[in-house]
Amino acid sequence: MTTTEERPAGTLVGTGRIKCVVWDLDNTVWDGVLLEGDVLRLRPQVVSIIKTLDQRGILHSVASRNNHEAAMRQLETFGIAEYFLHPQVSWNMKSAAIATIAERLNIGIESLAFVDDQVFELEEVAFQLPEVLCIPADDAAMMLDSPDFSPRFITDESSRRRQMYLSGIGRDEAEQSFTGDNDAFLSTLDMVLTIGPAKEQDLARAEELTIRTHQLNSTGVTYSYAELDHCRTADDHLLLVAGLEDRFGSYGKIGLALVNTAGDAWRLKLLLMSCRVMSRGVGAVLLGEIVRLAQARGKSLEAEFAETSRNRVMYVTYRFAGFREVGRDGGTAILCADPDLQRRPPEYLRIHREGLSL
């Protein structure tokens, strides 16, 4: 097991670190300059790179100094507009565009790569956003063989990641146009949270979640496929996975919980949730389900929380779910579930339990 805080910056543990590639357009995605009236030719090798990385679960976007309507129209003409999420086409600095893309996708700035043919643009981004991996357009093909762009596993969620983000954009647009409070909007989504013991086919996604999830990881610990498989089959552990779907589509597998079931008290060793569901309140619901599972077997529930530089929100999730700190083990806080503070699942969320009985 490896904590995210122990890894040197930029190193990889069995997966690529890049989650999104941001592309310039002129003389990068296509040959020629749009606003100068050039005859534009789409670069076939760029399209091949985009499609290959898309299948690996790596997203794409655009940061281009251009007329927005004209650029998007050209991408539509070339038949590749669907690959670019939250494109930023304006006359603003490229670094500002990239920061906006990271915010819209809700991913860390260090998870982005930027491809451009202009040295000035690459250097501006490198200066303003040193965490971004900057790549000259002529070197774009190197991404296909770089470990930064090569996840260890290609899961179902990986190959469908872009579609899931597109569904998320539809949700966001629906939420922005909705008049009413948050719970009233959530009740329109017809959300179903599925919880059950991990199956062998879930392990690749489970490992991916431990490696990719930082903000909502209770301990900052990553687990390998083999370690997770051992926990899945061990008599004294329970490995749970959670999935979420609504009327816009599936979010995929978005949660993972590892429980040591030996002793009088169950010990929750790891809890993590995808950042894509941060605003849906499912973290506290999953915790409540684990508390009820323990109680049904005559056990109390403790949980470990190790603060990292990015996961403070997970501590808030525990407290909201009725956990209180009862001690420390080195740098790890030991939390205990108070049965009297357990909340019922919200009305807007249905729970489907697979292979679990309360």
Q: How many CB atoms lie within 10 A of CB 11?
A: 9
Nearest to 240 by CA among 183, 174, 290: 290
Task: Write out pLDDT tens, residues 22-57.
Answer: 999 999 999 999 999 999 999 999 999 999 999 999
Phi/psi zone of residue 330: left (φ > 0), alpha (ψ -120 to 50 degrees), beta?
A: left
CB-CB contact of 313 with 346 (8 Å): no
Q: With H, G, I as helix, E, B as strand and everything else as coil, classify residue 358.
A: coil
pLDDT in tens, the chain (358 residues): 544 334 333 333 334 789 999 999 999 999 999 999 999 999 999 999 999 999 999 999 999 999 999 999 999 999 999 999 999 999 999 999 999 999 999 888 999 999 999 999 999 999 999 999 999 999 999 999 999 999 877 877 788 899 999 998 999 899 999 999 988 999 999 999 999 999 999 999 999 888 877 778 999 988 999 999 999 999 999 999 999 999 999 999 999 999 999 988 999 999 999 887 877 889 889 999 999 999 999 999 999 999 998 899 899 999 988 999 999 998 899 999 987 777 788 889 999 999 887 6
Specify the amino acid at residue 328. R
The pLDDT of residue 43: 96
The pLDDT of residue 114: 98
17-149 belongs to CATH 3.30.450.20:
no
The pLDDT of residue 11: 34
Angle value at C-alpha 270, between 269 and 275, nearest 5 degrees: 165
Per-residue tokens: 252: 């995929």
Residue found under tokens 């978005």: 254
CATH number of the domain located at residue range(s) 184-353 in this protein: 3.40.630.30
Residue found under tokens 């900057």: 134
Whole-number Å distance between alpha carbons of 234 and 260: 10
Residue found under tokens 């392990």: 203
Whole-number Å distance between alpha carbons of 197 and 208: 17
pTM (2 decimals)? 0.76
- By CB atoms closer than 10 A (0-12, 13-18, 19+), residue 39 is exposed
The pLDDT of residue 16: 77
The structural domains of the chain, with segments of one domain joined by +, span: 17-149, 184-353
Per-residue tokens: 318: 């525990």
